[in-house]
Each structure stands twice: as structure tokens, then as C-alpha cells.
């Protein structure tokens, strides 16, 4: 099987990718090994999913080995909160509840003016092999925003379902504890801090909130970066800039 046959038979016909979804297909001389670069990370994820399904159902695919060259757990997360009062450090702390944050930066427009979007590079966590995704909605005190990245499932913020969004949610469950036997006004479940999820305090009193850490002088340069190192009290240059890009390659032996 040469390069063109591999592209047309395996990628386009069997795995159902169009040529617009394939960026590069490299053939290694003298070997039946091909490297494929997809146009988007979503197509890369879809390829791995379709290949796993074919491997189980099509005998011809049992002779094919596919190796991901990209880390599927590494994502670039964009967080949008349209308020200058939300500190970047608090967004980092919130994200750290759900994933391992590597670095981040504030997004600016062509004139260098901040847009309200923060961009983070993170590694998603796994529980018994299953990827644990970050919530679509972020709330820090009175400020609400959105968090999104390629491959993130859309989730109803009212009931947690993946089948619909809040605008079309049929549920009347309690928004605080998700129970169906009472409404939010009648809920006796203690409120959680929106930053650290503790029930002993609110966000404004959270010891992990950046403003409180400054007051308590708990920010030191001896801590690991994702816990507060290299953070200046004026809020400037508190994180290293994001470098490079997320790979979307696979290696295939056919």
C-alpha cells in the first residue's frame, strides 16, 4: 500500500475523513509507515475514536497499528470573564480544581489591549482511564464566565446533563444540590466557596483568593509555580507565556 492508497482507502474511505480535514500525509521511504497531520485537534481526536471502533469491528484493521503523537490530555483552555475585577491568579486556582495548569496568559487585541480572555495550557486528569473534563461555566463570587477548549462536552449548568443546555432544560431540580424534592430556596445544603469548594466560607473570605493571600502575605517565591511562585503583588507577569502548539499528529503502520 503506497501513500496515495493509504490516504484514499484508510483515511478517506474507512475512517471517513475528507481531504479538507487532512493537513499532511508523510510516507517514510522503504517502509509501510505514514505520519498524518490533521487540520484540527478535533479531527485528531475523532480519528483515534474511529480507529478504535474499526479495530474492534473490521478484521483488516487488526493488522494496522496507530500511535498518537499528540497528548490527548493536553488542552489549551480559554476562559472569558468580562470583568477587570477578576484576578488571573484566582482563575488559575479555580482551574486547578479540575486539571493541572502549566501556564497561561491574557489575550490582547492587535493594539495590545486586554480582551477579557485568558488562555491556559493544561493537562486534563483521568479517573480510571476516563478523561475528567472542565466545567463549561466558571463563577468566582458574583462574576460568571465561560471556559472552553477543543473536545469539551457541552453541559447543562442547571442539571449537569450532556444532552441539552440550560436554555432548554426541563428540570426543576435544586440548582445548589441537584435534588428533585425541593427548590433552591428550600435547600439546606451549605453553600460552597466558588473558588475552592469549601463549605466553611464564601469566595470573599477564601484563604486561597489572591486578594486575601496578599493581605495575609502567604504568597512566596518558594512555592511551586502553580501554587503562587513568580507572582508579583501588583498582578503583572504572574505566569510564563504559552509557547509552541498542541500537536495533532498520528503515526500509522499499515
**254 touches 10 (CB < 8 A):** yes
Long-range contacts, 48-55 (Cβ 8 Å, 24+): 48/72, 48/250, 50/15, 50/16, 51/15, 54/14, 54/15
Q: Rounded to 5 degrees, what are φ and ψ at 68?
A: -70, 130
Beta bridge partners of 145: 138
Radius of gyration of the chain from its Cα atoms, rounded to whole angstroms: 23
| CATH topology assigned to domain 74-153+190-227 | Alpha-Beta Plaits (3.30.70)
- Over residues 169-190, the pLDDT tens digits come to 777 777 777 777 787 788 888 8
- Over residues 41-58, the pLDDT tens digits come to 778 888 988 998 888 888
Distance CA 48, CA 23 (A): 16
Domain ranges of the chain: 3-70, 74-153+190-227
Q: Rounded to 5 degrees, what are φ and ψ at 48?
A: -65, -40
Give pLDDT, residue 254: 67
Cα-based torsion angle of the residue sequence 176, 178, 179, 185 in order, rounded to the nearest 10 degrees? 30
Q: What is the reported pTM?
A: 0.59
Beta strands in 46-183 (DSSP E): 65-68, 74-80, 99-108, 114-127, 130-132, 137-140, 143-148
The answer to whether residue 133 scores a pLDDT higher than 80 is yes
- Over residues 223-248, the pLDDT tens digits come to 333 333 333 333 333 444 333 344 56
Give pLDDT, residue 131: 80
Cα-based torsion angle of the residue sequence 216, 221, 224, 229 in order, rounded to the nearest 10 degrees? 80
- Mean pLDDT taken over the chain: 80
Amino acid at each position: 500500500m503506497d501513500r496515495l492508497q493509504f490516504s484514499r482507502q484508510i483515511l478517506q474511505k474507512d475512517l471517513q475523513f475528507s481531504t479538507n480535514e487532512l493537513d499532511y500525509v508523510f510516507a517514510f521511504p522503504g517502509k509501510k509507515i505514514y505520519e498524518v497531520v490533521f487540520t484540527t485537534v478535533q479531527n485528531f481526536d475523532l480519528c483515534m475514536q474511529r480507529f478504535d471502533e474499526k479495530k474492534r469491528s473490521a478484521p483488516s484493521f487488526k493488522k494496522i497499528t496507530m500511535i498518537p503523537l499528540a497528548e490527548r490530555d493536553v488542552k489549551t483552555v480559554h476562559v472569558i470573564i468580562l470583568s477587570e475585577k477578576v484576578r488571573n491568579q484566582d482563575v488559575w486556582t479555580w482551574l486547578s480544581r479540575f486539571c493541572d495548569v502549566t501556564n497561561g496568559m491574557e489575550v490582547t487585541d492587535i493594539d495590545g489591549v486586554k480582551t477579557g480572555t485568558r488562555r491556559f495550557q493544561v493537562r486534563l486528569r483521568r479517573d480510571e482511564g476516563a478523561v475528567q473534563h472542565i466545567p463549561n461555566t466558571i463563577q468566582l463570587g458574583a462574576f460568571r464566565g465561560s471556559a472552553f477548549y477543543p473536545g469539551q462536552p457541552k453541559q447543562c449548568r442547571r442539571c449537569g446533563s450532556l444532552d441539552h443546555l440550560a436554555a432548554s432544560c426541563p428540570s426543576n431540580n435544586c440548582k445548589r444540590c441537584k435534588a428533585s424534592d425541593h427548590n433552591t430556596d428550600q435547600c439546606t445544603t451549605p453553600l460552597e466557596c466558588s473558588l475552592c469548594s469549601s463549605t466553611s466560607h464564601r469566595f470573599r473570605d477564601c484563604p486561597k483568593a489572591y486578594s486575601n493571600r496578599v493581605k495575609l502575605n502567604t504568597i512566596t517565591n518558594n512555592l511551586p509555580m502553580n501554587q503562587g511562585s513568580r507572582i508579583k503583588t501588583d498582578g503583572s507577569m504572574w505566569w510564563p507565556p504559552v509557547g509552541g502548539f498542541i500537536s495533532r499528529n498520528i503515526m500509522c503502520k499499515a
